[in-house]
Structure 1
């Protein structure tokens, strides 16, 4: 009798996967591991249901749709893993007091369960700003895009000159501490500096204390004026860093920061969710309003969009899934190329003028003024 085919080790099948993950074809990701990073931060490792590989730039993010309490809540989370390890990806989430999503993830998401995600997306990446020397500045959970960049260069070798300066409340709050310290020991070109505001229970902090200042930065990274700088953290932190660098005479064309804070306060998160719900629940426009034809070139979907309705609203009502998060022109998640036609757009900073000049638009705050063809 012929012998039975040998069983395939699931890990081997995943590593052998040549097909890239396509969120438009299958947006379900399975949680394959949950790891505690600190007392209030967890990493969730995700993989497609069928073996697929991920392609993204370090610093990019995914937009998730979580089903919580009978409603869909959208959130953006930066990928904390590195594209050099393409067969799974990770998001690292800090539990926010009162935050509906972060608490649900920490308390509910377990190995074997699935979540819906679209992406990757975003322009905040070292790959879009190549340099010989980098300075990565992060505060709190803003460490995640920096970790993706650091892990990527560490995996690729080559001794890229990177200074990584992270600010935390206490040593117990330093996310990825052990891994960052190990990377610094293994690679002389990689330097990690932690700054803590105070001690932790059971550990007195002996390193730099307080908050990031120009004096601390000059001591830790004397040549910071010559580096490409990436910054991510709470808004007050990013505002302070921006002002500090400008006062020091830094060339701000080499300063890059996240366009919005993924760890926004719960009130802001809930407001964005409520706005998204309102968009879905709005009644159809009254008669007498002009309606335009909107064609999505890649999916070949066509819908009708009233002139007083955003393209994103109309797409959602037609059952078309499009990347989106804040729904108020801030995050840039829904940025798309308008191949033909015109829109009236009122945004809140999620798109640059040069992008508008190139025909890009944010669908969440763009209303048609003619028939449209959108490259999606």
Structure 2
């Protein structure tokens, strides 16, 4: 079938794909919620790279002479990229300094470099027919790509969505998901709100029992995207209820902007960086990741996810001490570490990958 062939073509080179940059152009901007804008990107050169629903791209910003990248989930469907020629990204422009920069300087016609699509938090041809998507807050965006791709397809794949929010004013996609569910019997959606729920909503947050009561733990694949607290709350209940590890996926939380311990304002450490073309000296702020220090020095390794999952930024620590978030990047042998989720605790000497 047409959709099945498209899945296979999009998935075919996933592990061997060259993640070199593509040049995108902002073709449209629309308000989606307070401080959230929908950016529609088209190809400024060539064609858009294909992707699988749930994957992300990394946008590369040039700010004050420093190049830095930030990952964003693609919220549109693969068919919209293939036939419509666009990616939709929903960006909280009141968030990180890079996203604020885009909100202030990105206009229709602005071009920006981006990676090719990446990530394992996605639907593939091997994904079970039944899918359960569970989201908390802004992390809902990859589920939009998934549900739209299912509606676009001519397969029998089905999806059940459980979307939670604190504040109804900040909600994304309520009307859209409700309309998709009304128009397609393979889509079901439930909402939970901590504040001012509507009569059909759950008041509070979804529990594992809520989700298991309405889904098939033995047959479905479960995709969770939200804050760490949501993962901690749901994990044990879902697995105890029969969700097998190979059918349980969670999106890695976003970039860790500061370490979970106090640092003194202005505290910095000397940083020596060995690259393939020479040695660079710089400083690393105690309250920023080593990757940010490398970016400020202009010698950053490739980095896409900024959360310890893609592995592209892995470097070697020759001397010094770093703290690495154990929930994101497990300790590795021979001094290999992930700069994106590691913070300096002393003077460092680092060797970057070729």
Q: If the length of structure 2 is used for normalisation, what is the TM-score? A: 0.70
8 A contact 1:199–1:205 mirrored in 2: no
In the TM superposition, residue 175 of structure 1 has moved relative to its aligned partner by 1.0
Whole-Å separation in 1 of the counterparts to 2:216 and 2:292: 45
* Correspondence 1:106-255 to 2 at 5 A: 106-127=103-124, 130-199=127-196, 204-219=198-213, 221-255=214-248
| Residue-by-residue CA offset, 1:230-259 (whole Å, 9 max, x unaligned) | 100111112212132134343233110112
Q: From the CA coordinates, give the structure whose radius of gyration is larger.
A: 1
Aligned Cα root-mean-square deviation (Å): 4.2
Selected match of 2:51 from 56, 66, 85: 56
In the TM superposition, residue 222 of structure 1 has moved relative to its aligned partner by 3.9
In the TM superposition, residue 136 of structure 1 has moved relative to its aligned partner by 0.7
How many residues matched?
311
Do the aligned partners of residues 373 and 137 (structure 1) sit closer, same or farther apart at CA in structure 2, a change above 3 Å counting? closer
SS of 1:152's partner is helix
SS of 1:332's partner is coil
8 A contact 2:193–2:201 mirrored in 1: yes
SS of 2:27's partner is strand
Whole-Å separation in 2 of the counterparts to 1:78 and 1:116: 15
Structure 1 residues without counterparts, runs of 5 or longer? 1-20, 286-290, 295-301
**Residue of structure 1 in register with 2:36 after alignment:** 41
Whole-Å separation in 2 of the counterparts to 1:36 and 1:247: 41
Whole-Å separation in 1 of the counterparts to 2:300 and 2:105: 28
Do the aligned partners of residues 68 and 128 (structure 1) sit closer, same or farther apart at CA in structure 2, a change above 3 Å counting? farther
8 A contact 1:171–1:205 mirrored in 2: no
1:323 aligns with 2:317: no
Do the aligned partners of residues 195 and 129 (structure 1) sit closer, same or farther apart at CA in structure 2, a change above 3 Å counting? farther
Whole-Å separation in 1 of the counterparts to 2:192 and 2:200: 10
Q: If the length of structure 1 is used for normalisation, what is the TM-score? A: 0.67
Do the aligned partners of residues 157 and 109 (structure 1) sit closer, same or farther apart at CA in structure 2, a change above 3 Å counting? same
Whole-Å separation in 2 of the counterparts to 1:261 and 1:76: 8
